Structure 1
């Protein structure tokens, strides 16, 4: 009987020991989560977290300013300068707690609306693909004076509200997107951290267990890695905010702690970066005492410590740097059946290459986990979990990069990011919530076979799906299949059926500087060729002829007005005085001769009639009007024979008589997808730029119909802009397109 009693007693003791080991004593650990928060309140739209130890905190959701793989070294330094400035703004008695959260997700198309077949197939291909998403929160906490009794200090409260707004303004002024979480969002954020669940819409908190190696919750296990072991701080003597990786034998800058976003087998990673801002005078005094204490015991290690402290003091004195206490830890959450040792090996190897040795003695797993709750950073042990350093060095250990997310824009063109999942980009740069430019024109540049046409096929298909009118100049039949798929209009240039247009046929209201410029470039292109040089005189002459041509058609010419006659008299009188001849001529005789000259000009102008608007009538008008203008203004050096010869090819009976005389199909203005295929003339130095000019004018006319967004795509544009005249016109055309597109 006694033996049975002893066995039962031993079994009870063993059970109690196992229970205590697994679940704790039910004392302090049982209440550890209950002792964190007092409440969450909404203050002017800001969700303020109140802890039971008297601290209050505000949480900003921010986006890290450095684009991952941007190769912009300056942006990493800008980040450290920004957060050092934030630390100076907050000052003594505040803590900055930055949490970067990385979550493994499966891709799901967020756009649930009706999509056409190719878009639907595109997203179906990527559905379920694993990728890492990231988010970032910045918690500003004001330290409470430790006391048995807590009293409300209105001055400190007002200081807190003012400074958190200053922090938000500084972030925004530096181009960082930042907004405060409200009460419900802050509560949800805390709950998600507790459950280590940042991807499911609905979260639940299940059985919680902790030991010296990990923290478990339901079917998850978490391990907290302290980045620095304060008993033996192994950090490099010099540190910078980035490191280099090698890509195709070229160095590429990445974040110093970039290894944390690719930990194997990790479902969730939370990188906690806590900066405590102490009283600077007190810390400098303590540092000086520490230096003297080391100096009092002369040995090599103490001497090295003295020299290190002196260097720090010199930097602080010379550059006004700030001393801060820092804490960095990583919380890695995995599924219950995953081996955490692989994560540990990855982190030790990655940080070891940078000269950083993560702590192997982080046995206070639960305390570190609880101390990393938003707003609860002051519960971290001052002696064991914090280390003193300069603010710049601490900021270098912060995570600075962001992954590309889909932009908030009505114009979504999808590309795949470096993780292989679709991301929506506003290629116009001006229609999204974040406007980058007011000029949506762009080039797609690349060598032959690099995929320019393939890329543009995808872009214009997506733009057309979103209600954009497309006009394309195609060489090489790159867009024939897409045009057929979208039910567009495909127009091929052939000798029997050339792309035609009567650019001279316009209404009186359309006559403006833009139209005159287009026609002038058209005429000069035919006259001078693509590589021809145009003098200012020739440019002005053609512009003058075009103006007179339309004036003759719309208004007719009944004679000079009194003002015009007076201007001509003055001009001709000056010309006569400058001549050597007729010196003996009287003033009356000269005036009489000038009147005869004006009458002759008037007679010749009246003889020039324009019955219809076309290239034929312009040619007939110009070959008569140009000699008159040259004679009237004593212009020399104009090669009229060459002008007639070059222009005649597009005149009645010429090889290209239809090109500029037959009207274009007016139904094109109602088409939403039009492709002009001009492969047969892509090597013609005259027709290619000429037809391109015609098509661009069609686009401008479509653009005036204020209906949908318009896009003009010029394939092989280098051939067009190789012509100085064409290049100038494209540059000229960009102005109205930029405004109206």
Structure 2
């Protein structure tokens, strides 16, 4: 048993309702505090009411479809029906202004991580917690009214709790209530511990927090509470708006409403009906929702008596006639459609420590209430009693005259159904931003989804020109490499040059002055010639020797295999010889040709002279003698970041063929040999590679097997037509990519149905994609990105890079030239260059 004590006197100015107290009245809160004790996790009031305190984790905002809002609404109705008569459901949503602060661990991180932390430091956002207080009133309890409240009584006499009847009745239904909500899959429910309710030591509980309007997880702070001349708690000036009369309500309500900012002329975008009073109201506020479940039989009898009374008075007033008809309609609907009659109350408590902001907050709150077509009403006289009833466990003190009759179906439409974005609990992931504020989030789109909705980690990334696709992909690859992944990129357009310099990776590109160079014959120290390596070199040699329409005999395959075996055996005895194509070619001329003669191998089985003649251009002095004889950037297996820039050679039949074969060999080698390390291959706009049948087969193999080796394949494109032009690629990439990432596709809006069908997207996904960047925050440079996981989880995030990140990742020629200029200015140090540009931009 935890006894709730308020350890110090808190000054209360008494509310004046139907009474004449002295001009200044001070009350000791301990003397009139309505709660008695906390027993077995249940709050007991001095009036004998019992309350269970729950914490509800709601769905994230902007993630539910129209049908999902309806399903969640039905779930709440089912849960409410299991509550016994005499219950009060008090749903209390806290929205508090917070500021982002990077963790100490990240502050010691990479240069770009540190720049991002500085960029987002002190970024304001709205934190949200949802609590549910289920109260069962003691039998025979006198209803509270504005004139009869425990706040106004001089003394509170604790009623004798009749055994544990109320507690047992509450416990019998609470499990079923929680199970119905949890089984829906939309929300998770947890029962608050005694420490979370009443606090412990210097850590405040939910009761302390409400009495002081403190921050979540903050220390307990005692504050004076004033009701006159205005509601004020400590230094916080409060405004309270209430919905206490049916005349304030709209003519129509539903679980969701259209959010015009993200809607288009072809699509609608839905948010919860009460979301304007939730995440979309950017001020400190508490949204209280009360449902009072009385005995339905008694309620209908009371309403019927009211109808007869109005009938007798209808001849004297048109208002009485209208009220009689409305009451009759209410009774008819309750009986004919088996509706659950209840009384309800809603109120919104806003606060600030700056009195100059009160006018702005008043306007914002009134506007938010009006968006639901509810008439706003600012409470002044009854604010004290409504605030008093909002104390956790004190919902039974809600004044009866502040409630209106309605049905549960309509009342639950006014529930706040959404919360803010949540970070993933997985240790692996990337940094993205909340859609509303951009506050950083940790998002896992690889490992965590594999446990729930995905069967592979492969990704398909599609975005039009200028959509921020390259900047996002740079960020993704950078994040992966910093977390220990090996990343291989096939690029067209030099999108990763800056990132490669920052990470100290290998950058393979072609120019006349510095042609592209590889060395597939090189074996790092400590490694050995395994079957995988030998097969990849054989495939390369065969690809260079034979044209696509030429036959390849089994005897030729054996001869090349034997030549490689003999060559590497020869190298083991001649350490002075450097492994490369030149030394292999010389070995064939000087040694292997003699082996063939000794074994009497005929030319029809293996024509070595033809083989040497065709491969002569790759030997020293030949046209392509550079490509297979590289002496730098040889440690490909241990290098975590490798970029192959194919722009200059994508149309060259020989260079491109060699490059793609080398890439395939290298990545397969990483897949097989790097145990316990994440492997990522990114295929950017290198569609020539995919259009070739050999590479297409490699991609098909890759997408189906990379999962088994802790890897993922990522394909990036500007045009969806590129993907569907080849049946092989369509089957390999789209059908085997459980993660789809889409950026701005506005230019495809009129033909998005084809894209939707090709990608197998739902209508919910379509609405989210077409909402991208439609209401971006002015003055901030960012792009929105849609991420779909397993065709089940669909969310839109911000990607907002810091200035340093933006210039490191940018593909704009003028900006890349600026980075190069500053890098030369600072002696080749790109970090100093980026920092200087950032300081210049801020100034």
Among candidates 675, 678, 681, match of residue 709 of structure 1: 678
Q: State the Cα distance separating 1:92 from its structure 2 match.
A: 2.7
- Report whether the alignment pairs 1:246 with 2:226: no
Find the counterpart in structure 2 of residue 219 from structure 1: 235
Among candidates 176, 190, 203, match of residue 166 of structure 1: 176
- Report whether the alignment pairs 1:192 with 2:187: no
Is contact 1:96–1:141 with CA below 8 Å preserved after alignment? Answer: yes
Q: State the Cα distance separating 1:328 from its structure 2 match.
A: 0.9
Greater Rg by CA = 1
**CA 37–248 in structure 1, closer or farther in 2 if over 3 Å, else same:** closer
* Residues paired across the two proteins, number: 621
Among candidates 341, 353, 356, match of residue 335 of structure 1: 353
Distance across 2 between alignment mates of 1:528 and 1:389: 80
Find the counterpart in structure 2 of residue 670 from structure 1: 638
Structure 1, 412-421 or 309-318: larger mean CA deviation:
309-318
Consecutive unaligned residues of structure 1, counting only runs of 5 or more, are 1-18, 533-537, 557-610, 628-643
Distance across 2 between alignment mates of 1:224 and 1:546: 87
Q: Deviations over 1:428-455 (max 9, x none)?
A: 2433898553422212221123222211
Distance across 2 between alignment mates of 1:520 and 1:296: 98
Among candidates 96, 108, 114, match of residue 101 of structure 2: 108
Q: State the Cα distance separating 1:270 from its structure 2 match.
A: 0.5
Find the counterpart in structure 1 of residue 244 from structure 2: 229
Distance across 2 between alignment mates of 1:543 and 1:368: 90
Find the counterpart in structure 2 of residue 88 from structure 1: 81
Q: Deviations over 1:200-222 (max 9, x none)?
A: 732311222112x6321221122
- Report whether the alignment pairs 1:356 with 2:356: no
Give SS of 1:90's match. Answer: coil
Among candidates 274, 277, 288, match of residue 290 of structure 2: 274
Q: State the Cα distance separating 1:722 from its structure 2 match.
A: 4.2
Distance across 2 between alignment mates of 1:652 and 1:150: 98
Q: State the Cα distance separating 1:319 from its structure 2 match.
A: 4.8
Q: State the Cα distance separating 1:324 from its structure 2 match.
A: 2.3
Normalised by the length of structure 2, the TM-score is 0.64
Is contact 2:506–2:633 with CA below 8 Å preserved after alignment? Answer: no
Give SS of 1:679's match. Answer: coil
Q: State the Cα distance separating 1:517 from its structure 2 match.
A: 11
Structure 1, 491-500 or 702-711: larger mean CA deviation:
491-500
Among candidates 191, 202, 218, match of residue 201 of structure 1: 218
Q: State the Cα distance separating 1:150 from its structure 2 match.
A: 1.6
Q: State the Cα distance separating 1:667 from its structure 2 match.
A: 1.7
Find the counterpart in structure 2 of residue 121 from structure 1: 115
> Pairwise mapping of residues 524-535 of structure 1 onto structure 2 (< 5 A)?
none
Distance across 1 between alignment mates of 2:555 and 2:328: 83
Distance across 1 between alignment mates of 2:604 and 2:430: 53
Is contact 1:472–1:676 with CA below 8 Å preserved after alignment? Answer: yes
Find the counterpart in structure 2 of residue 35 from structure 1: 33
Structure 1, 442-451 or 371-380: larger mean CA deviation:
442-451
Q: State the Cα distance separating 1:84 from its structure 2 match.
A: 1.0
**CA 498–265 in structure 1, closer or farther in 2 if over 3 Å, else same:** closer
Distance across 2 between alignment mates of 1:83 and 1:368: 24
Is contact 1:240–1:393 with CA below 8 Å preserved after alignment? Answer: yes
Give SS of 2:77's match. Answer: helix
Is contact 2:126–2:282 with CA below 8 Å preserved after alignment? Answer: no
Among candidates 383, 386, 411, match of residue 368 of structure 1: 386
> Pairwise mapping of residues 133-532 of structure 1 onto structure 2 (< 5 A)?
133-146=127-140, 148-153=159-164, 157-173=167-183, 174-187=185-198, 188-199=205-216, 201-211=218-228, 214-226=230-242, 228-230=243-245, 233-247=247-261, 250=264, 251-261=268-278, 266=283, 268-298=284-314, 301-302=319-320, 304-309=322-327, 311-313=329-331, 315-317=333-335, 319-335=337-353, 337-382=355-400, 384-431=401-448, 435-493=452-510, 497-500=515-518, 502=520, 510=531
Q: State the Cα distance separating 1:371 from its structure 2 match.
A: 0.4
> Pairwise mapping of residues 590-601 of structure 1 onto structure 2 (< 5 A)?
none
Is contact 1:411–1:432 with CA below 8 Å preserved after alignment? Answer: no
> Pairwise mapping of residues 528-543 of structure 1 onto structure 2 (< 5 A)?
none
Q: Deviations over 1:301-344 (max 9, x none)?
A: 55544554455455545654322221111111111533534333
**CA 543–159 in structure 1, closer or farther in 2 if over 3 Å, else same:** farther
Is contact 1:326–1:389 with CA below 8 Å preserved after alignment? Answer: yes
Q: Deviations over 1:464-488 (max 9, x none)?
A: 2222222222322222221121222
Q: Let me know the Cα RMSD of the aligned residues.
A: 4.4
Find the counterpart in structure 2 of residue 63 from structure 1: 57
**CA 265–62 in structure 1, closer or farther in 2 if over 3 Å, else same:** closer
Is contact 1:334–1:340 with CA below 8 Å preserved after alignment? Answer: yes
Distance across 2 between alignment mates of 1:503 and 1:285: 93
Distance across 2 between alignment mates of 1:543 and 1:196: 82
Give SS of 2:355's match. Answer: coil
- Report whether the alignment pairs 1:680 with 2:694: no
**CA 139–494 in structure 1, closer or farther in 2 if over 3 Å, else same:** same
Among candidates 36, 53, 68, match of residue 75 of structure 1: 68
Find the counterpart in structure 2 of residue 730 from structure 1: 699
Q: Deviations over 1:282-305 (max 9, x none)?
A: 333433444444445556555544
Distance across 2 between alignment mates of 1:34 and 1:465: 58
Give SS of 1:358's match. Answer: coil
Distance across 2 between alignment mates of 1:149 and 1:88: 29
Among candidates 40, 43, 57, match of residue 49 of structure 1: 43
Give SS of 1:458's match. Answer: helix
Is contact 2:255–2:272 with CA below 8 Å preserved after alignment? Answer: yes
Structure 1, 105-114 or 425-434: larger mean CA deviation:
425-434
Q: State the Cα distance separating 1:497 from its structure 2 match.
A: 4.9
Distance across 2 between alignment mates of 1:163 and 1:525: 76
